[in-house]
């Protein structure tokens, strides 16, 4: 079994955070120290500059809190070292961190940032066959110390002493390449980026197993940071996700689209369920348009499904004004003429034009998902109706598309 000796944590605490003797500033935005690792595209250093989804989001969040992010306050660290610092120092935040049940009580959390998936990477010339967690015990699997992958591997049934534990991904990639280990457990997109950067081409490796379900990444705040400050960061993140520019796009959507591919959903909502909800909403609007719009924008069930918050209705008038929205009532009153999704598609124009032309149909575009973080392919069913007030409306309900 291969292991590396842990570095002295107290010495590293001094190296990372060295206040003057007797000085202990109260945690505040300007006193925060952020710790991160090479985990692209979420956080990484390239040509001496820290960048990535989580770094850019943090910058937007602090702007909304009337602070400029000093990127020199973000310390790049080996994960296990940074994790220990964040546990012990009361003004520290570590990101991007998987929010797992085993960690829940160790930090205060702000997020989610984005979902990610843990996989096993192996070289293609290795004859490895894993059909179930039980098969994992046949192979030498490497993990980063104190990582989500280590926790998930143990949860899958592996004995901690059977894992190859390192604190440096470069060491693990070398072991993978030379055959010292059989597989590396790591997040899928960051792992592919690191392997390619290390010099192992996509044609040389493969993903052979998903180690648990997808999980969400968060900012993990030291437990001693005041709740009020953590909540202020959460509000800033929520605003970054929800508030739209003149094109109807949030900063959150722009940041995700810049760094990562759009995702497919695993929710498995049927077309029939979407159509049924649109038809029900139509009948309500035809009977009582003002009362129905009020219920929709209040997020009442079934206009926003109580069991599946990603299933909701929204309504345009024929001038592409948002009349009601069950998921984001702040959009009510906004005109969507010419508004685009992150790919540049004028989806509102297409929906209303299609309804006027053909009364009903479907439009595909890219959108955020209220049930999961990230950008997703979406398809929306629409139908034209006349309300009890004599005006025409276009009732819409979307579903997030599944991979074919």
Task: Read off φ and ψ for residue 304, nearest 5 degrees.
Answer: -125, 115
Tokens linked to 245: 């520019």
Tell me the mean pLDDT per 10 residues along the chain, length 404. 40 45 54 90 89 95 88 86 94 94 96 91 90 89 94 91 92 96 92 89 88 88 95 96 84 89 79 97 98 98 92 97 94 92 93 98 90 84 98 96 77
- Rounded to whole angstroms, the Cα distance separating 287 from 293 reads 12
What is the CATH topology of the domain spanning 9-113+215-242?
Answer: D-Maltodextrin-Binding Protein; domain 2 (3.40.190)
Report strand pairing: 322-325 vs 118-123.
unpaired
- Note whether 9-113+215-242 and 271-400 share their fold: no
Query: To which residue do tokens 């003057």 refer?
Result: 20
Please, are residues 166 and 145 in contact by the beta-carbon 8 Å criterion?
yes
Domain edges within the chain: 9-113+215-242, 118-210, 271-400
Please, are residues 76 and 50 in contact by the beta-carbon 8 Å criterion?
yes
Q: How much is the CA Rg of the chain, to the nearest whole Å? A: 24
- Rounded to whole angstroms, the Cα distance separating 67 from 190 reads 29
Please, are residues 394 and 383 in contact by the beta-carbon 8 Å criterion?
yes
- The pLDDT, as a whole number, for residue 404 is 64
Task: Read off φ and ψ for residue 316, nearest 5 degrees.
Answer: -105, 155
372: left (phi over 0), alpha (psi -120 to 50) or beta: beta
60 contact partners, CB below 8 Å, separation of at least 6? 236, 240, 251, 252, 255
β-strand partners of 360:
383
Q: Is the pTM of this model over 0.85?
A: no
CATH number of 271-400, picked from 3.30.300.30, 3.40.462.10, 3.60.20.10, 3.30.450.20: 3.30.450.20
β-strand partners of 324:
315
- Rounded to whole angstroms, the Cα distance separating 269 from 250 reads 25
Query: To which residue do tokens 């998987």 refer?
Result: 98
Burial class (CB in 10 A: 0-12, 13-18, 19+), 117: middle
pLDDT tens digits along 280-324:
999 999 999 999 999 999 999 999 999 988 899 999 999 999 999
- Rounded to whole angstroms, the Cα distance separating 380 from 339 reads 16
Q: List the CATH code of the domain at 118-210.
A: 3.40.190.10
- The pLDDT, as a whole number, for residue 8 is 44
pLDDT tens digits along 17-65:
444 444 444 456 778 899 999 898 999 988 888 999 999 999 999 999 9
- The pLDDT, as a whole number, for residue 10 is 43
């Amino acid at each position: 079994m291969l292991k590396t000796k842990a570095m002295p944590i107290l010495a590293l605490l001094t190296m990372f955070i060295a206040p003057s003797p007797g000085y202990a500033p109260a945690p505040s935005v300007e006193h925060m120290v952020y710790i991160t690792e090479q985990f692209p595209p979420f956080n990484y250093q390239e040509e001496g500059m820290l960048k990535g989804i989580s770094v850019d989001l943090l910058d937007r969040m602090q702007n909304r809190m009337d602070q400029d992010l000093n990127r020199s306050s973000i310390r790049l660290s080996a994960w296990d070292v940074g994790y220990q610092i964040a546990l012990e120092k009361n003004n520290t935040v570590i990101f991007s961190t998987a929010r797992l049940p085993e960690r829940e009580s160790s930090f205060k959390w702000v997020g989610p940032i984005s979902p990610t998936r843990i996989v096993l990477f192996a070289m293609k010339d290795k004859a490895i066959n894993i059909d179930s967690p039980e098969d994992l015990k046949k192979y030498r699997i490497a993990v980063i110390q104190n990582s989500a992958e280590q926790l998930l591997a143990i949860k899958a049934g592996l004995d901690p002493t059977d894992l190859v534990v390192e604190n440096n991904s470069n060491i693990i990639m070398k072991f993978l390449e030379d055959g010292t280990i059989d597989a590396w457990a790591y997040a899928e997109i960051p792992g592919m980026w690191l392997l390619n950067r290390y010099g192992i081409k996509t044609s040389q490796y493969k993903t052979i197993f998903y180690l648990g379900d997808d999980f969400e990444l968060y900012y993990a705040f030291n437990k001693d940071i005041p709740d009020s400050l953590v909540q202020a960061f959460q509000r800033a993140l929520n605003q970054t996700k929800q508030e739209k520019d003149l094109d109807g796009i949030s900063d959150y959507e722009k940041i995700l689209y810049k760094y990562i591919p759009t995702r497919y959903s695993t929710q498995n909502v049927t077309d029939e369920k979407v159509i049924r909800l649109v038809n029900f909403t139509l009948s309500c609007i035809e009977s009582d348009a003002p009362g129905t719009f009020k219920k929709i924008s209040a997020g009442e069930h079934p206009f926003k499904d109580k069991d599946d918050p990603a299933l909701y209705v929204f309504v345009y008038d024929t001038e592409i004004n948002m009349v009601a929205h069950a998921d984001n009532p702040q959009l009510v009153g906004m005109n969507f003429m010419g508004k685009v999704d992150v790919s540049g598609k004028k989806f509102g124009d297409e929906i209303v034009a299609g309804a006027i032309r053909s009364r009903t149909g479907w439009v595909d575009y890219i959108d955020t998902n209220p049930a999961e973080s990230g950008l997703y392919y979406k398809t929306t069913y629409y139908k034209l109706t006349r309300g009890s007030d004599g005006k025409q409306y276009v009732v819409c309900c979307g579903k997030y598309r599944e991979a074919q």
